[in-house]
Structure 1
Amino acid sequence: MPKLIRYYVHLVDFICEKVGRFVMYWVFFMMFLLILSFVTRNIINFPLLWIIEMAQFTITAYYILGGGYSMITDDHVRMDLFYGRLKKRGKAIMDICTSGFLIFYLAILFYGSITSLQYTIKTKQKLFTAWAPYVWPIKTLMLIGILLMLLQAFSTLFKDIAKIRNKKI
């Protein structure tokens, strides 16, 4: 594989792994928020308006930003009618065939997230709740997460091509 592609694969894998490992611990922050919500609502009888939405924002960021990492570790969901019976080379060929669909989907999603973020910033969009938080922070994290998944999809494609050619990256 060309040096530029090897550098790209290593860089994207490194970034997605670091982001994924950092975001992995956000689930504890979300659990803290949900416990705090339970305590303030049911024990202290002083419900906080922002807590549930903050937990939703946290789990959304956790899910979206962890997408690239789940692609590296191959922990994503896959339809396994006959994929599991294939050898490594056959799996790589199957992954190459389906990666075009994934890249197309992520590219459209990325474009949509850019236009959505632009609209959100332009209109100063807020949620229609009692807390009424701005939406741009979570949409920015969604844009970053989708970009990381798109970059990781190309990295995975390059790794699959290398497997077919019996080359190392």
Structure 2
Amino acid sequence: MRGFLLVVDGVNEVVGRVFSWAVVLIMLITVYDVVMRFAFGQPSLWAFDVVKQLYALEFMILAGFGLVRNAHVSVDVFTARLSRRKQAAMEVVSYLVFFFPFMVMLIWKSYEFAARSWAYGETTWGVVALPVYPIKTVMVVASVLLLLQGIAKVFRELAVLAGREEAC
């Protein structure tokens, strides 16, 4: 079990570190577009669509990384005064009731969404007509990574409930 947890954490950590650099690319393209637009009167036809897709990539693919780092928003008002074991129990119940059903639906629907996009060869509406199907595929990949990280989180919380927190 510990091996599974380390692999899931490691994959999301690597994905997070690699794709967090997309923000630099977003910034460079945006600066390029602004300079071309205002200094040379030559706005780029592709920059807005590329930046939009890169931002979507970064936002989606870093979700699992955020869960590894406990960077997601949580409402600690209800659990702050509970013991660690009671907090773990609340986490497990909330993941079982809310997180896992949502993730299964998200993976299922995003797969259908991406498959339809690939089948049609979907592109953006802009002049450049960038392909959209790669970013829609990222929805599926990001959802799977987040689901795996959620499974790892639940296993860790179950270890706390079993009194074996150091095992995970």
TM-based fold match above 0.5: yes
Which residue of 6, 15, 20 maps to 1:19? 15
Does 1:56 pair with 2:52?
yes
Q: Does 1:122 align with 2:119?
A: yes
Q: Secondary structure at the match of 1:77?
A: coil
Q: CA deviation at 1:156?
A: 0.6
- CA deviations over 1:38-59 (Å, ceiling 9, x no partner): 1111111111111011111111
Q: Is the 8 A contact 2:26 2:55 kept in 1?
A: yes
| Normalised TM-score (structure 1) | 0.93
Residues 84-114 of structure 1 show CA distances to partners (whole Å, capped at 9, x for unaligned) of: 3333222211110111111110110001111
SS of the counterpart of 2:80? helix
Aligned to 1:30: 26
Root mean square deviation of aligned Cα: 1.2
Distance 1:14 1:24 in 2: 15
Equivalent of 1:41 in 30, 37, 42:
37
Unpaired segments of 5 or more residues in structure 1?
none
Runs of 4+ in 1 over 4 A off after TM superposition: none
Structure 2 counterpart of 1:109, from 99, 106, 110: 106
Give me the identity figure in percent.
Answer: 24
| 2:68 counterpart of 1:72 | yes
CA distance in 1, matches of 2:85, 2:31: 47
**2 CA distance for matches of 1:128 and 1:99?**
38
Q: CA distance change for structure 1 residues 87 and 40 in 2, over 3 Å: closer, same or farther?
A: farther
* Structure 2 residue 138 is the aligned partner of structure 1 residue 136: no
Q: Compute the TM-score of the two structures, normalised by the length of structure 2.
A: 0.93
3-state SS of paired residue (1:83): coil
Amino acid at match of 1:125: E
Rounded to whole Å, the distance in 1 between the matches of 2:51 and 2:105 is 27
